[in-house]
Structure 1
Amino acid sequence: MKWPYSESKNLILLLSVLLYSSCSTDSKESSTASTLPSIPVDVSIIKKEKIDAIESISGTILPAQEVEIASEVTKRIISINFKDGASVSSGQLLYKLDDRDIRAKLHKVQAELSIAALNEHRLAELLKTESVRLEEYEAAKAKYDVYTAEKEMLLAELEKTEIRAPFSGRVGISKVHKGAIVQPGKGLVTISNAHTAKIEFSVPEMYLNAVKSNSKISFEIEGSNKIFQANIIAREASLNKDNRSITIQAITSNTQGMLSGGMSAKVHFNKLGIAEGIAIPTEALMPSGNGYSIFLVKSMKAKIFQVELLSRNEKTAVIKSGLNEGDTVIVSNLLRISDNASVNIVSTNKK
């Protein structure tokens, strides 16, 4: 079948228009793509350096020495000789208990002991001349010994009515008041050593070699910018079988009184020792399904790479693999960048 000449001409014209339109659109898209602005970025040029991998974990402040003061006898409190929360010295009297009955017994025994001592001495002299029998002297000597023992026992009971500080430190709040009757073993007040403090924390099995006795750690507490130093003094004999961790204790000076038992602490220790490696700013890291990735600048294009971390903290990430010395890593505008995007370096920080 033959098309009329006019219709063939119109069809050719229509096809020409469509083809031109398509080419024009492609040309515009290509032109638009080629004129996209470069994304401004800050970068860091990586080089090998001496690094220490710092691990941070939670810990608890403990008193270096703390005991709960209690009475050994049932007596009434007649005086309390300290103020709540005050510092006390070793041997300082804290509580005085009623001792009148003990003193009365002691006075009687001392009188009887004096008589027994005179009688024993008199019979001892007579025994030398055989003026008395040996049995009489031995009975007098036994009576003297009994009264001596009674006196010592009463003096010990009298000593228990004076409750004193076992060491210098700071007392807490008294749990009893003047006039109260105390029972043996019932806690009266807590005293703790205020000049030193302990830090207790647990570390995973993999870090055992990093927390040996006498090695140093640092730590921080809430509300203070000070970095405290402490020496490791002890660790548990075996790992916790449930979580494969071990409990560590370190000790530090507390002369300024900034540390109190029960405080939380952020403990830092070097888990690797000082070694040569590559560290990058933490802000360069991007979480991904396989760990972390970063953008490197290659020929003014952003290229995404996977990296393997050795450790990280708030400022620095130590890279185990995935980076080489001299690489240029992007540290800003990461959310605007995609792989192969054009970038414009605004500032450079040489690590």
Structure 2
Amino acid sequence: MNKPVKTILVLVAVAAIAYLLVSKVFSDNGTAKKDAPKGGPMAQRVAVDVFVVSPLAFQNKITSTGTVLPNEEVELISEIAGRVTGINFEEGTRVRKGQLLLTVNAQELQAQLQKLRSNQKLFKDMEERQRTLLEKEYISRQEYDQVSNQLATANADIQALQASLDKAYLRAPFDGIIGMRSISEGSYVSANTPIARVVDVSPVKIEFAIPGRYSHQLKEGDKITFTSEGNPERYEAKIYALAPNIDPATRTLVVRALYDNKKEEVKPGAFVKVEISLKDVDEAILLPTEAIIPEATGHKVFLAKGGKAVPKMVKIGQRSETLIQITEGIEPGDTIIRSGILQVRPGSNLKVRNINSSTDE
């Protein structure tokens, strides 16, 4: 066999061996793919921490935010037109009910009143003379009635004018503190011109709202505690009124409480945090806040059952910084997933890392 032929045979043999090796590699890859686990993400186990539910004693409280309202508040206005001739108050001072605060020039009304009183005296004298004559039958009943009607008309005109004249003297409608005035002496005011605001700040009202589901648990006379914005001191007030209906837009009930505010330390308009203690629950179902998943239709948790994740809708009650009360959907002994929630899907296989219970919280 010559040398070229041997060379060709060697090349053919090498090519055959290379073909067999490549076929083996692809064959092994196919086998590996067939032997790979099926099922995608569901087949992979999700590492989670779980929480075993056990009932705990729970101090049931409602927390809310509200606003301080004055006991009474009114904007003083002038009911007649005229020039201000007297201001009888200092801004920011206490005033008493009935105290004269402002005088509007009413000389024209006073002149008219004086004229009417003169006419009244004239008609009264005439009526007395006509009555004497009527008793002696010197005049007819019709002549007497004419003078009597003139007297009655004069009396009515005086009463009407006196009512208008009284409006020239602006008086405090109740005890309180008068605010900043918006007019000066000598100013011309018209009807409905604002003068100043009078506010009664002792007591004050605390207005807040609670979820409608607690409306049946509150009543007049119940006590609340609150703190005012910028002041750490806790105050106690008493509920005096509850709205007759739950707001259909917010599903809340408006409540008002009264605080005596004798030292006037709580200012109207301030923001307050309110806390109401309800009946304590001896055996409450409490879950860590991170275990609760809010949804459009309510709240959901994942239970660990048989190594798999099972979703469950729940109803929540009160909450603290770390725990939420569950009122419906969970029973003692249930195992709740508390971490790894974002990776969990219904039916996910679970790998439990840590187990906690209520007593560990």
TM-score (norm 2): 0.65
Equivalence for 1:22: none
* Structure 1 equivalent of residue 113 of structure 2: 106
For residue 194 of structure 1, give the secondary structure of its aligned residue in structure 2: strand
Question: Tell me, what secondary structure is at the counterpart of 1:127?
Answer: helix
Look up the match of 1:129: 136
Structure 1 residues 181, 290: closer, same or farther in 2, change over 3 A? closer
What is the distance in 2 between the residues matched to 1:94 and 1:178? 12
Cross-structure match for 1:8: none
Residue 143 (1) aligns with residue 121 (2): no
* Change over 3 Å in CA distance of 1:181–1:56 after alignment to 2: same
> How big is the alpha-carbon RMSD for the aligned residues of Structure 1 and Structure 2?
3.3
CA contact (8 A) 1:309 1:317 kept: no
* DSSP 3-state at the match of 2:250: coil
Summarize the Cα distance change of 1:242–1:279 in structure 2 as closer, same or farther, 3 Å threshold.
Answer: closer
Rate the CA distance shift 1:127–1:212 in 2: closer, same or farther, 3 A: same
Distance 1:193 1:118 in 2: 50
- For residue 191 of structure 2, what is the aligned residue in structure 1? 184
Match of 1:273 among 258, 279, 284: 279
**Which AA in structure 1 matches 2:282?**
E
Once residues 159 and 317 of structure 1 are traced to their aligned partners in structure 2, the CA distance between those partners, rounded to angstroms, is 64
1:219 is paired with a residue whose SS is strand
- Residue identity matched to 1:121: E
Tell me how far 1:196 sits from its aligned partner.
1.0
Distance 1:286 1:101, change over 3 A: closer
Instruction: List aligned pairs for 1:30-109, cutoff 5 A.
Output: 51-109=58-116
Matches within 5 A, 1:198-217: 198-217=205-224
Q: Does 1:158 align with 2:162?
A: no
Residue 262 of structure 1 aligns to a residue whose secondary structure is coil
The change in CA–CA distance for 1:54 and 1:177 in structure 2 (over 3 A counts) is same
Counterpart amino acid of residue 77 in structure 2:
A
Partner secondary structure for residue 163 of structure 1: strand
Report the 3-state secondary structure (helix = DSSP H, G, I; strand = E; otherwise coil) of the residue aligned with 2:91: coil
1:171 is aligned to 2:155: no
After TM superposition, give the deviation of residue 151 of structure 1 in Å: 1.6
Deviation per CA, 1:80-124: give whole Å up to 9, x if none. Answer: 111111111000111111121111111111112112111111111
Give % identity.
26
Structure 1 residues 111 and 289: alpha-carbon distance in aligned structure 2, compared to 1, 3 A threshold: closer
Contact 1:55–1:313 (Cα < 8 Å) also in 2: no
Partners in 2 of 1:107 and 1:286 — Cα distance? 79
Structure 1 unaligned spans of 5+: 1-45, 292-307, 325-338, 342-350
Please give the per-residue CA displacement for 1:314-333, whole angstroms capped at 9, x wherever unaligned: 6x857668999xxxxxxxxx
CA distance in 1, matches of 2:136, 2:180: 67
